[in-house]
């Protein structure tokens, strides 16, 4: 497995992973109609813009096996400022058949190292309360910071904020 910065041309594979991961991970959590209406083409344009016009201190990494992108993560400065954490893991998605193989951990640690190199000391992530993959954050030493209700489509769901100390996460 290789982890590298996303490059122009990766946007379609990233979009596929994004949509497919939502449909498998959030099945039974997020309304099925919402999941089926997600579009790889729409996500492709979004990720293309992020790759071609990166913001300072924003990162987008992909995980690949035999040059096939099977997961990605993105992050940068804390967007909400609701909690005193420098950095934020904005998104992490891995194709279902590659989950639970430490690929997510490798992606998170790569992002955490980039945050540390940018002078950050902490990082947070927002995760749906019912996401079965959130246990990975707990295993990496994440602590629950709080909860809030969000709307996805026509649903009200609960999202949890989880915080990390970067030195602890990286075993420094």
Domain that holds residue 19: 2-169
The domain tally of the chain equals 1
The structure's pTM equals: 0.94
User: Average pLDDT, stretch 137-150?
Assistant: 95
pLDDT tens profile 26-65: 999 999 999 999 999 999 999 999 999 988 889 999 999 9
- State what percent of residues in the chain have pLDDT above 70: 99
User: pLDDT class for 172, splitting at 50, 70, 90?
Assistant: low
Both tokens of 89, joined, read 């893991």
User: Average pLDDT, stretch 123-151?
Assistant: 95
Give the CATH number of the domain where residue 150 resides.
Answer: 3.40.630.30
- Could you give the C-alpha distances from 141 to 81, 107, 171, in angstroms and in order? 21, 15, 10
């Amino acid at each position: 497995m290789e982890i590298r910065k996303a490059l122009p041309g990766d946007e379609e594979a990233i979009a596929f992973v994004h949509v497919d991961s939502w449909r498998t991970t959030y099945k039974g959590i997020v309304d099925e109609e919402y999941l089926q209406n997600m579009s790889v083409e729409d996500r492709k344009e979004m990720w293309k813009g992020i790759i071609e016009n990166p913001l300072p201190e924003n990162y987008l990494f992909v995980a690949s096996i035999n040059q096939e992108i099977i997961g990605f993560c993105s992050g940068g400065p804390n967007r909400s400022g609701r909690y005193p954490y420098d950095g934020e893991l904005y998104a992490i998605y891995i194709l279902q058949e590659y989950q639970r193989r430490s690929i997510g951990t490798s992606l998170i640690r790569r992002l955490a190292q980039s945050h540390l190199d940018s002078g950050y000391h902490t990082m947070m992530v927002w995760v749906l309360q019912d996401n079965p993959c959130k246990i990975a954050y707990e295993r990496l030493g994440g602590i629950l910071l709080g909860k809030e209700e969000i709307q996805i489509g026509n649903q009200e769901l609960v999202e949890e904020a989880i915080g990390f100390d970067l030195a602890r996460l990286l075993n420094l």
